[in-house]
């Protein structure tokens, strides 16, 4: 059982993350809300680096919801076939674009409930889009955030959604910064394997465990 962070430690962790990552943004490359949504959808269980390799050609072929809604499924698959679960993702991209056209007057909605109603968009994807595009005070939990939050004793929940609720309750504000902070910290310093504890970690004194936590 991992020891829980104290209220004092939570406040200190919050302040340190905000200080180190105040200007942090997603590493996904996009030019507009439509491209951001697609990139986040593709990034599920796929690296941002891989998504950034895939998307330029995809965006050039389908720059608008109108064109993507009319796209041939097999053709979309050829653009994203090096991405994990590309068959389902291709179907969802086309369906999402059709929903945007028919249900949302050709505009990507910018509220959680409407975003989640789109094919292939869950709570995490919706929150990431709103965090990045609007700076919304929301938390989204991917594998990096899950691992970091458990190693620092910020959460003891088994699922990403429950961990999100716990972090939101404990941190309350600056959630958009804290989300990006924990993603980048987990990706480059507090790695699943061989975390850089001795050389680069500035959270060593708050660490409760080096276990490679993964959401159930």
Active-site residues: which are they? 124, 142
Alpha carbon distance 109, 128 (integer Å): 14
Of 179, 132, 130, the closest CA to residue 154 belongs to 179
In sequence order, what are the residues at sequence separation of 6 or more whose Cβ sits closer than 8 angstroms to the Cβ of residue 102? Answer: none
Six-digit token string for 83: 């991405």
Left, alpha or beta for 153 (phi > 0: left; psi -120 to 50: alpha)? left
In sequence order, what are the residues at sequence separation of 6 or more whose Cβ sits closer than 8 angstroms to the Cβ of residue 14? Answer: 171, 174, 178
Alpha carbon distance 136, 116 (integer Å): 16
In sequence order, what are the residues at sequence separation of 6 or more whose Cβ sits closer than 8 angstroms to the Cβ of residue 54? Answer: 42, 79, 80, 82, 83
Alpha carbon distance 28, 50 (integer Å): 10
Of 2, 15, 5, the closest CA to residue 206 belongs to 5
Please, what sign has the CA dihedral across residues 121, 17, 160, 81? positive
């Amino acid at each position: 059982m991992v020891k829980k962070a104290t209220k004092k430690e939570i406040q200190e962790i919050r302040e340190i993350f905000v200080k180190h990552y105040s200007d942090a943004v997603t590493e996904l490359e996009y030019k507009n809300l439509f491209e951001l949504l697609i990139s986040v959808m593709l990034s599920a269980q796929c690296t941002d680096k891989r998504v950034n390799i895939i998307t330029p050609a995809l965006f050039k072929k389908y720059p608008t919801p109108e064109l993507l809604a009319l796209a041939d499924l097999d053709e979309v698959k050829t653009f994203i076939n090096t991405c994990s679960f590309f068959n389902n993702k291709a179907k969802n991209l086309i369906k999402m674009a059709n929903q945007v056209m028919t249900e949302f007057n050709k505009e990507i909605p910018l509220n959680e409930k409407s975003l989640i109603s789109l094919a292939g968009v869950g709570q995490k994807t919706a929150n990431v889009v709103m965090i990045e595009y609007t700076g919304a005070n929301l938390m989204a939990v991917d594998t990096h955030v899950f691992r970091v939050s458990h190693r620092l004793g910020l959460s003891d929940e088994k699922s990403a959604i429950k961990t999100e609720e716990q972090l939101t309750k404990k941190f309350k504000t600056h959630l958009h910064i804290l989300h990006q902070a924990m993603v980048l910290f987990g990706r480059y310093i507090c790695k699943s394997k061989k975390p850089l504890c001795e050389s680069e970690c500035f959270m060593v004194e708050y660490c409760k465990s080096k276990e490679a936590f993964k959401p159930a």
